[in-house]
Amino acid sequence: MIARPVGAQVAPQREEMRGPIVRCPVPVKNRRRVLCVFPSYVPAFGTFQHAYRLMYGVKAFMPPQGLLLIAAYMPEGWPVRFVDENIKPATEADFAWADIVLVTGMHIQVEQIRDIQRRARAAGKVTVLGGPSVSASPEMYPDYDYLHVGEMGDATDAIVASLDASVAPPARQVVARTSERLPLTDFPIPAYDRIPFGRYLLGTMQFSSGCPYLCEFCDIPGLYGRQPRMKTPQQIVAELDYIFSQPNPPSTIYFVDDNFIGNRKAAKEMLPHLIEWQKRHSYPVMFACEATLNIAKQTDILELMREAAFVGMFVGIETPEADALDAMRKGHNNAVPMLDSIRTLNRYGIEITSGIILGLDTDTPDTERRLKDFIELSNIPMLTINLLQALPKTPLWDRLKQADRLSEDEARESNVVFLRPYDEVVAMWRRSIAYANDPENLFARFDYQVEATYVNRKVTPAKGKLTFSNLRGGLVLMWRTLLYICLLSDFRKPFWRMAKHALRRGQIDGLLGAAFMGYHLIHFTREALRGDQNASYYSAKKRTTAMAAVKPPAASKAKEPAAA
């Protein structure tokens, strides 16, 4: 998409803002052209595909931090091209240009990851795969030439050294495992100059890596460690400066850390720097993050987050049932009564998005009713309700394997053999998403947020956001909301009810957020209920729509995977 040697065509002042450039320290002798390709997402509750039509130019959810970091880390003089296939597929010309093809991705993107390898191989290029999927399960990718297992570190340097020596595909697959991680304090500023921010719904940044907890189903502690490692506040400020020196910088930035308060002290020390930066620039951006629900006990941190303009948080609530939380080793969600925690977060202007898992061993015939009660009482507008899936290298996987409860049947929605009958569990999932995303229920919960959350947000100066791209984006979103929701949709009535309330209270940001989230959730749920989407976005079940976002170039059509 963007073909320029690292740093060469960046305006001088932008390059200065990037500060001292950290790169791979391996001394290289050759010039290698590097093509970074990010695979397309599988449509999910949390990727907002349907809502893009309401927005100006948006084609993808968030820029991929991991691959942007790797792009920035490449040795000086190695030109980098960056393609996010959610925006535009890598073309034959891209593959022909490259000496090396770097790919990343999650398990759910497995088909797309393999497809990129096939296209690169057809062009005769050497392929390298890193990221969370291969780090957890290298055996899933026998066809890649190099596998990078783990975070950036000694394995990355070893691969760079090999590629400098030769770009011929090695006779046997090379698996490089990071044993010494590069400290986050030594991370380069991700290659934000390679991406068209205007095509993304949100921007991304990373402050920390790792999570101290050990929830049974989660592979984060195994992949990223239990001792959270942090960037310095100065790095964060420098990244913000760099992002805001790019064309069309984002109006919301999502911190990709698994748990923003993995190290509370560090978060508390960093936040004043964010606030100071926001004040200095008249608050051009809002923030969102992921954190554990026990953040509700840290009201000093929440106050700082409010002041820094944090407006959204993804919280892995997983289940409202206390015994189920204990069983999955997520007892920390019970630290404060759940509904109190949610209200506390709302009081600081933070709207919660909640992950929910069905199909747990602790589920009973009462689980569905309890979930619906929880949805009604918590008034959380957006819930990503998924079926339990066992990820490789998790305690859950080990337990189920021992009990012979892992299924390889690709026709199923999950690889877990549930304790309750499979059809009942899937039917419960269907009824639950239908209930949660019924337009009346959904917009009633957004309506509740107007008083409970939106009015509690910091009132920030309009000046910081008055840019041409923000104005254009806002006007287009308003116009398309009017057209596609207020006039053409069958859910215009409940939407209008909420919209009038929000307008009366001057909560335009909240209103527009509800419009695009609601639009996606309602449409996505209808597709899921028709059977076009599956219940566990981790599962291997063949999806008809998964590959629709990427149309490979005509000549390589023959290489589309069977799932397409």
194 binds, among ligand B12, ligand SF4, none (CB under 5 to 8 A by kind): none
From the CB of 230, what's the least distance to ligand SF4, in Å?
A: 15
Q: Is residue 81 near ligand B12 by the rule CB under 6 A?
A: no
- Among 133, 278, 319, 453, interactor with ligand B12 by CB under 6 A: 133
User: Beta strands 174-177 and 146-149: pairing type?
Assistant: parallel
301 binds, among ligand B12, ligand SF4, none (CB under 5 to 8 A by kind): none
Residue type, 188: P
β-strand partners of 463 = none
- Among 6, 116, 136, 267, interactor with ligand B12 by CB under 6 A: 136
CA atoms of 304 and 265, how far apart (whole Å) = 13
Indicate the residue among 116 and 514 with the shorter CB distance to ligand B12.
116
Q: Which stretch binds ligand B12 (CB under 6 A): 104-112, 302-310, 366-374, 469-477?
A: 104-112
Residues that bind ligand SF4 (CB under 6 A): 211, 213-215, 218, 220-221, 258-259, 292, 316, 330
DSSP letter for each residue of 124-154: T-EEEE-SHHHHH-GGG-TT-SEEEESSSBH
How many chain residues touch ligand B12 (CB under 6 A)? 43
CA atoms of 144 and 159, how far apart (whole Å) = 13
> Which helix or strand (DSSP H or E) is residue 17 part of?
helix 12-17
Contact by Cβ (8 Å): 230, 266? yes
Q: Is residue 148 near ligand B12 by the rule CB under 6 A?
A: yes
> Which helix or strand (DSSP H or E) is residue 432 part of?
helix 422-436
Indicate the residue among 47 and 346 with the shorter CB distance to ligand B12.
47
E strand map for 367-430: 382-387
From the CB of 439, what's the least distance to ligand SF4, in Å?
A: 30
Sign of CA dihedral 458, 464, 466, 470: negative
Indicate the residue among 75 and 132 with the shorter CB distance to ligand B12.
132
Q: Is residue 351 near ligand B12 by the rule CB under 6 A?
A: no
At 159, phi and psi to the nearest 5?
-65, -40
CA atoms of 38 and 112, how far apart (whole Å) = 9
Q: Which stretch binds ligand B12 (CB under 6 A): 213-221, 279-287, 407-415, 464-472?
A: 213-221
Contact by Cβ (8 Å): 207, 238? no
Q: Which stretch binds ligand B12 (CB under 6 A): 99-107, 242-250, 359-367, 451-459?
A: 99-107
Indicate the residue among 64 and 316 with the shorter CB distance to ligand SF4.
316
Per-residue binding letters, 245-264, with ligand B12 (x by CB under 6 A):
-----------x-x------
Binding positions for ligand B12, 266-305, rule CB under 6 A? 290
Per-residue binding letters, 8-47, with ligand B12 (x by CB under 6 A):
---------------------------------xx-x-xx
DSSP letter for each residue of 48-105: -GGGGGGSSS--BS---HHHHHHHHHSPTT--EEEEETTTSPPPHHHHHH-SEEEE--
CA atoms of 127 and 77, how far apart (whole Å) = 20
From the CB of 67, what's the least distance to ligand B12, in Å?
A: 5
User: Beta strands 351-358 and 310-318: pairing type?
Assistant: parallel
Binding positions for ligand B12, 187-206, rule CB under 6 A? 206
- Which residues make up the interface to ligand B12 (CB under 6 A)? 41-42, 44, 46-47, 61-62, 64-67, 69-70, 102, 104, 106-109, 128, 130-133, 135-136, 148, 151-152, 156, 206, 218-220, 224, 256, 258, 290, 384, 386, 391, 537-538
